[in-house]
Amino acid sequence: MINYWLIKSEPSNWSWQDQVKEVETMWDGVRNYQARNNLMKMKKKDLCFFYHSVSEKKIVGIVEVSKEYYPDPTDQTGKFVVTDVKTSKKLKKPVTLEQIKNNPKLSNIALIKQSRLSVMQLKKTEWNEIIKISKE
């Protein structure tokens, strides 16, 4: 069974263009325990929306989990983990935070409820609704 996620990145640190160029990369730098726990739940083949945070606030593409969690080599404490993700596809049209906030079917999404969380699980219905918006 595939699970669905949303992962955030500041475009100035790691953008969709960087991801596309690299194809497969380690998703590192998570320093929040709830986000870490979500990384630990990710399974190979799970799908993640790639969200540009801070300046842009929009979902721009989809990546697939290619390797399940392992220790984050950038973390000196040994408490945090990474997963590997590979580029899947660019959305036909980006989906903005404003579009998500204005959609009643997405009112309980963690992106709104826990705006600082950088790795969050989505329900299949939420995933499908965002895909639908991206095609409009």
Given this model, what pLDDT does residue 75 score? 95
- pLDDT one-digit tens code per residue, 80-127: 999 999 999 999 999 999 999 999 999 999 999 998 999 999 999 999
Residue 109: how many other CB atoms lie within 10 Å: 19
Closest alpha carbon to 134 in 62, 78, 29? 62
Number of domains composing the chain: 1
Per DSSP bridges, beta strands 4-9 and 47-52 are parallel
Structure tokens at 15: 């953008």
Domain boundaries, position 121: 4-135
Separation between Cα atoms, residue 48 and residue 87, nearest integer Å: 10
CATH number reported for the structural domain that contains residue 100 in this entry: 3.10.590.10
Question: What is the share, in percent, of the chain residues with pLDDT greater than 90?
Answer: 99
Compute the C-alpha angle 29/64/41, nearest 5°.
60
Averaged pLDDT for residues 60-82: 97
